[in-house]
Amino acid sequence: MFAKKLLLFSAVVATLGFSSCQQEEEISNKEEASQEVLTQIKTLGFNNQNVQKVEGGYVVEGDIFLSQDDLKTAHNTKALRVGEAEQYRTTNLVAVSGSRLITISMDSRLPSSYIAALDEAIARYNSEGLSITMQRVSSGGDINITAAPRSAQYLASAGFPTSQGNPHNNIKVAERYIGKNPNTGWFATILAHEIGHCIGFRHTDYMDRSYSCGGGYTNEGASSVGAVHIPGTPTAADPNSWMLACIGSGQNRPFNSNDKIALGYLY
């Protein structure tokens, strides 16, 4: 059995190569979210357990960034469902008029070895013939990849599109957990996953993240949302989606057939 460790960090301390005392020190220094904030997060339809307070907002469900403004905004979240393994999206999507180019940059202070994984993630999207295309630029991208703070308890995090129809503009990656020379397919899957959030996807196993993360049944959070099933997709569980909440060490998840249907449906 391989260790699960995409975005919900706390379950995989032993696999990441540092001691429990270091883990405890970081957690003890972490600022707690107030009860008011936890209530706001739950009202928005997200799980409010293991919330991480970060600069400018909070990380919920392992890797989803919510800003302070997000907590104050009324959302009417819709959902896109693929069989029993559900592809969820937010109300806000990237606005497209015919076609749209999304540029992605990576902070030059991150290891240069990360570029290969980003190029692979971009190629996966561009090979699908979507109405959105992606291109890596040296700086100032619509989505910019930067280093997560040292206190981060996740491998990577991102947010959702804005109400103006733009992708979320930042992905944070934790270099000390990912390493300086990660497996390209594995890291490309992580980056493609976070780009998925930036363009409006939630986790495929939203209704039961134990499906990919292990442990007991865990629903990420109920919400009064609509759901649209895509005709022709299976009704059985989907073990290989790129938007599953957790991933095995070194595992590579290119888009499977259901992912491609979901991407094509939205874009």
Q: What is the model's pLDDT at position 205?
A: 63
Distance CA 121, CA 137 (A): 14
Range of the domain at 225: 9-266
Tokens of 74: 């009324």
The answer to the question of residue 122 being in a domain is: yes
- Give me the CATH number covering residue 16: 3.40.390.10
Q: What is the model's pLDDT at position 88?
A: 54
Average pLDDT of each block of 10 consecutive residues along the chain (267 residues)? 40 26 34 80 72 84 77 56 52 88 98 98 98 98 95 88 92 94 96 93 64 52 37 57 83 91 88
Give me the number of domains the chain comprises: 1
The answer to the question of residue 1 being in a domain is: no
The answer to the question of residue 3 being in a domain is: no
The answer to the question of residue 226 being in a domain is: yes
Distance CA 29, CA 109 (A): 26
The answer to the question of residue 59 being in a domain is: yes
DSSP letters, 38-83, are: HHHHHHTT---SS-EEETTEEEETTTEEEEHHHHHS------EE-T
| Nearest Cα residue to 256 out of 104, 131, 87 | 87
The answer to the question of residue 4 being in a domain is: no
Single pTM value for the model: 0.74
Distance CA 132, CA 125 (A): 8
Q: What is the model's pLDDT at position 12?
A: 31
The answer to the question of residue 114 being in a domain is: yes
The answer to the question of residue 189 being in a domain is: yes
Distance CA 214, CA 208 (A): 10
Q: What is the model's pLDDT at position 265?
A: 84
